[in-house]
């Protein structure tokens, strides 16, 4: 099975360019402020680079293209460490889309030649060599590279998976992505609590059912014959009220457009309402009020966070829709439109559109969801699957829709059970076989719309939920890309890795009844790193 990497991403290029143009000016400004921290970050990374180099030096025969790729990618990422958080999603070459622009803005320091900088003047610094794609293993030239053998993998992985830190139950599967052949299996069909690796299934279902280019709209409408303005939620948890929208849908832009439309109608005082009827059922997840997830609503701003954070656990507004409407009212008043205290309502089919904003394409939301293990986006994506397939947009409808969509794709669902989109519910059940099948499907040339699943996976030692892991295991840094999963007594890891010979492998490791989450995570990280260093023949 061969995936044409460049061709698969050709359709996405306009979106990448759009994101780059949005992010670039902010990155340049930030670069000037973070220069001291960049130096500090580079110094902190240097020991890991040195250890990795020492590990490679004794085995020159193993310094393959993927190894050189990892070193080049590591160097580029270290250079941009201070500004990478402000960049957009990862591009097909494994670098953030704005990294090259930030690097090029550093006078005399050079940049990356990913399409080469637009500055071709004689004084421009010579670009650094491009790092080859981290998805190189999908290319046709690697199909001739031998895959690891089952016997060699069994010898390596059985020992690592036998670590007592992985608790009383552990299952694992390793699959060759190019052929779909299973290379290793341990309890492959045994369903376990998957924790946040559930989001891989949610992502596949959402991209398949709604499409990678689908955007979520938030609207402001006017009820005819009245002065009632209704803020209509479309289910976009990434809608932001921040001054710098960074490419996400902006509540400020919506308020500006609404105020302009109202003034054109000679209205400067209105009744403000909000409509959340797109979603049904309970707003609270079965785990109850929790800093990891806001009450699920079709209308929310900045995931109902009560601080300036963009990811991770934090206290949430008890009523996300009311919170969003109050902020919208404040923005309207700043534009000269007085409003009443907002209350719930429902827009009629006779309402007149005033203004609207749309989220980035679903592909970008999926990447953010996977990189940060974002539970709010995950539950929104489950409801998008439900809406796209004609089901109720609630927890039960989303779970049923995910199951049905995966079944339509021919995925192995024996033993699988979905109760939500995020994996926070301990009643979820997935198998290692299904998780690897999802990853292989994302690399299938027949399904290029699923590619954001591979590019959205956190990168070991650098991004998202893997940014603070692999500190003591440099061999997997920059090579392992995986979705993490953590609940009390549950630790999981599922993703992809290019092995020492250049073969792209998909893996899933699930452990239950663990007692020390840190030790369990380290054991899983070591196991994934072993695949990165494995020729295993």
Residue with tokens 């409801």: 383
Q: Is 146 exposed, middle or buried (0-12, 13-18, 19+ CB in 10 A)?
A: exposed
Neighbours of 129 (CB within 10 A): 11
Taking 3-state DSSP, the helix, strand and coil percentages for the chain, each rounded to the nearest 5, stand at 40, 15, 45
- Partnered with residue 171 across adjacent β-strands are 510
Task: Say whether 155 is catalytic.
Answer: no
Q: Check: CB of residue 294 under 8 Å from CB of residue 363.
A: no
The radius of gyration computed from the CA coordinates of the chain, to the nearest angstrom, equals 24
Query: Which of these is catalytic: 117, 196, 351, 422?
Result: 196
Neighbours of 309 (CB within 10 A): 11
Mapped onto helix, strand or coil, the DSSP state of residue 303 is: helix
Q: Is 144 exposed, middle or buried (0-12, 13-18, 19+ CB in 10 A)?
A: exposed
Query: Which of these is catalytic: 199, 327, 441, 483?
Result: 199
Query: Which of these is catalytic: 93, 297, 351, 373?
Result: 373
Task: Say whether 373 is catalytic.
Answer: yes
Question: Which of 208, 221, 102 has the alpha carbon at shortest distance from 449?
Answer: 208
Token pair belonging to 103: 């690097």
Task: Say whether 92 is catalytic.
Answer: no
CA–CA separation, 360 and 303 (whole Å): 16
Active site positions, annotated: 196, 199, 373
């Amino acid at each position: 099975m061969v995936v044409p990497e460049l061709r698969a991403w050709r359709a996405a290029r306009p979106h990448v360019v759009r994101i780059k143009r949005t992010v670039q000016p902010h990155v340049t400004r930030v670069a000037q402020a973070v220069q001291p921290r960049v130096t500090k970050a580079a110094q902190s990374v240097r020991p890991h680079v040195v250890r990795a180099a020492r590990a490679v030096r004794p085995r020159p025969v193993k310094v393959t293209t993927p190894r050189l790729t990892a070193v080049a990618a590591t160097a580029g990422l270290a250079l941009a460490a201070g500004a990478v958080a402000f960049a957009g999603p990862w591009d097909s070459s494994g670098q953030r889309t704005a990294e090259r622009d930030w690097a090029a803005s550093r006078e005399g320091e050079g940049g990356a030649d990913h399409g080469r900088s637009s500055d071709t003047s004689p004084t421009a610094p010579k670009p650094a060599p491009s790092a080859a794609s981290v998805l190189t293993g999908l290319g046709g030239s690697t199909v001739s590279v031998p895959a690891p053998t089952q016997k060699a993998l069994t010898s390596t992985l059985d020992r690592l998976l036998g670590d007592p830190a992985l608790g009383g139950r552990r299952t694992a599967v390793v699959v060759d992505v190019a052929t779909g052949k299973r290379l290793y299996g341990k309890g492959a069909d045994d369903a376990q609590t998957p924790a946040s690796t559930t989001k891989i299934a949610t992502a596949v279902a959402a991209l398949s059912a709604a499409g990678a280019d689908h955007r979520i709209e938030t609207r402001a409408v006017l009820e005819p014959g009245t002065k009632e303005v209704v803020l209509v939620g479309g289910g976009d948890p990434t809608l932001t009220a921040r001054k710098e929208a960074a490419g996400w849908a902006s509540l400020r832009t919506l308020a500006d457009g609404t105020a302009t439309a109202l003034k054109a109608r000679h209205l400067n005082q209105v009744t403000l309402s909000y409509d959340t009827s797109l979603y049904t059922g309970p707003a609270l997840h079965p785990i109850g009020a929790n800093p990891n997830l806001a009450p699920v609503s079709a209308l929310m701003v900045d995931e109902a966070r009560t601080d300036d954070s963009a990811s991770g656990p934090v206290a949430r507004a008890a009523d996300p829709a009311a919170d969003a409407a109050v902020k919208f009212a404040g923005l309207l008043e700043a534009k000269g439109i007085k409003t009443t205290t907002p209350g719930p309502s429902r827009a009629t089919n006779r309402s007149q559109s005033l203004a609207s904003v749309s989220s980035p394409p679903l592909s970008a939301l999926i990447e953010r969801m996977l990189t940060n293990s974002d539970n709010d986006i995950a539950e929104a994506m489950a409801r998008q699957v439900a809406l796209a397939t004609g089901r109720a947009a609630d927890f039960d409808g989303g779970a049923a829709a995910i199951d049905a969509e995966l079944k339509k794709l021919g995925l192995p669902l024996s033993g699988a059970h979905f109760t939500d989109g995020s994996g926070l519910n301990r009643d979820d059940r997935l198998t290692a076989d299904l998780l690897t099948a999802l990853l292989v499907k994302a690399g299938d040339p027949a399904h290029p719309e699923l590619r954001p699943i591979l590019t959205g996976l956190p990168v070991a030692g650098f991004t998202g939920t893997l940014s603070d892991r692999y500190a003591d295991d440099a061999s997997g840094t920059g090579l392992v890309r995986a979705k993490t999963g953590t609940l009390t007594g549950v630790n999981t890891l599922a993703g992809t890795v290019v092995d020492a010979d250049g073969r792209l492998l998909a893996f899933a490791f699930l452990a239950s009844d663990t007692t020390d989450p840190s030790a369990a995570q380290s054991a899983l990280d070591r196991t994934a790193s072993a695949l990165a260093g494995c020729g295993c023949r």
